[in-house]
């Protein structure tokens, strides 16, 4: 099954212009959880297919090797010039973040040491600055922002004032340039999920401010249950000596990971349906609230803050087949080999 998927995904969409691609900023922690080593190659493959234009990536964790992980996958994905920003602060730094070791990683430093030694977040621009520089250049209401980690960098952007980059504040840039915000986090209609728990104050602040009443674009929430049984990893024949996904997963003691994050990307890229496949359904508009102390989320349809919950319409098997093996096609490996030469 996996070999068939690899071959099938070599049929790229050719001739797609950048204007047809969905402009996207990807914002992830890429720290404690190793799922990003499977997510990032799929994201670059979507760019190769002509479905997205990656404007920038943002590492929102305080781990010093999160942004370097993003850079090594950009290089191995054949997109070495991808703009990447790093969270240069110590946030998130809540008690729950420390309890969950949310800024720590057993695999990131070792992965970077093997495939891009010497890199660290000190070599990257600040994440809020990257957001500002990218958004300032985009057409109105054209950018999808995908956040699959913490709210740190997005909140830093919203708090940023006008400067030499743009006469607009960060909040004004978002309202003018962003089409939608796609977020992986939460359990609906209520519960506690890791991303929101680790950055409880950040997500509380974000969702309290980011409402249609305040002029912000819609928020689409991809909860824990969607990706819990959607699995992907490197192809079975991949060697950890040349395949960062295989090596990263081995460092974390696994072969596959649930694919929560890429579902948020898939929604941003393809919407509810693509071709003959319906991937998601969407709720009526409502409001998500996150408790600042616990990270517990509550969904309510009683008020319309411009927040929506998306739910998988496609089966776990369908989505797993889509992603599993997608992480490294033959074309991706060829690019990887060229990048190392």
Q: pLDDT of the chain along its 341 residues, tens only?
A: 222 222 223 223 333 444 579 999 999 999 999 999 999 999 999 999 899 999 999 999 999 999 999 999 999 999 999 999 999 999 999 999 999 999 999 999 999 999 999 999 999 999 999 999 999 999 999 999 999 999 999 999 999 999 999 999 999 999 999 999 999 999 999 999 999 999 999 999 999 999 999 999 999 999 999 999 999 998 888 899 999 999 999 999 999 999 999 999 999 999 999 999 999 999 999 999 999 999 999 999 999 999 999 999 999 999 999 987 554 444 444 454 444 44
Question: What is d(CA 291, CA 91) in angstroms, rounded to the nearest whole number?
Answer: 18
Domain 2-9+24-340 belongs in CATH node 3.90.245.10: yes
Contact criterion met (CB below 8 Å) for 248 and 37: yes
- Tell me what pLDDT residue 1 has: 24
Residue 326: the pLDDT is: 55
Contacts 24+ apart (CB under 8 A), 1-5: 1/321, 1/324, 2/235, 2/236, 2/324, 2/325, 3/235, 3/325, 5/321, 5/322, 5/324, 5/325, 5/326
Identify any residues that bridge with 184 across adjacent strands, giving them in sequence order: 222
Residue with tokens 């691609």: 21
CA distances from 112 to 184, 245, 253, 258 (A): 25, 12, 17, 22
**Which residue ranges make up each domain of the chain?**
2-9+24-340
Angstrom CA distances, 290 to 124, 185, 225, 298, 308, stand at 31, 10, 17, 7, 14
Instruction: Find out whether 216 and 252 touch, Cβ atoms under 8 Å.
Output: no
At 185 the pLDDT is 98
Hey, is 287 helix, strand or coil? strand
* Neighbour tally for 20: CB within 10 Å: 11
């Amino acid at each position: 099954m996996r070999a068939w998927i690899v071959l099938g995904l070599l049929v790229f969409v050719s001739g797609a212009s950048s204007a047809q691609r969905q402009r996207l900023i990807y914002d992830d922690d890429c720290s404690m959880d190793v799922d990003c080593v499977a997510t990032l190659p799929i994201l670059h493959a979507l760019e190769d297919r002509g479905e997205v234009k990656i404007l920038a990536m943002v590492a929102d964790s305080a781990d010093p090797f999160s942004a370097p992980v993003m850079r090594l996958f950009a290089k191995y994905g054949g997109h070495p010039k991808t703009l990447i920003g790093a969270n240069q602060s110590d946030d998130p730094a809540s008690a729950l973040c420390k309890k969950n070791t949310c800024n720590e990683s057993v695999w990131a430093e070792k992965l970077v040491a093997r495939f891009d030694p010497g890199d660290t977040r000190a070599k990257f621009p600040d994440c809020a600055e990257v957001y500002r520089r990218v958004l300032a250049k985009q057409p109105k209401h054209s950018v999808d922002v995908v956040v699959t980690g913490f709210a740190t960098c997005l909140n830093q952007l919203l708090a940023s004032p006008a400067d030499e980059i743009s006469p607009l504040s960060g909040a004004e840039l978002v309202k003018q340039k962003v089409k939608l915000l796609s977020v992986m986090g939460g359990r609906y209609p209520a519960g506690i999920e890791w991303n929101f728990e680790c950055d409880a104050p950040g997500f509380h602040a974000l969702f309290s401010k980011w409402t249609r009443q305040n002029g912000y674009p819609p928020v689409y929430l991809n909860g824990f249950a969607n990706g819990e049984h959607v699995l992907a990893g490197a192809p079975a024949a991949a060697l950890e000596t040349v395949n960062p996904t295989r090596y990263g997963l081995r460092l974390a003691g696994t072969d596959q990971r649930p694919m929560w994050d890429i579902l948020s990307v898939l929604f941003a890229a393809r919407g509810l349906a693509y071709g003959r496949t319906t991937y998601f359904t969407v709720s009526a508009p409502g409001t998500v609230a996150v408790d600042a102390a616990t990270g517990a989320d509550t969904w309510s349809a009683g008020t319309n803050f411009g927040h929506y919950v998306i739910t998988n319409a496609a089966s776990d098997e369908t989505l797993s087949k889509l992603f599993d093996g997608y992480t490294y096609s033959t074309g991706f490996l060829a690019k990887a080999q060229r990048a190392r030469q």
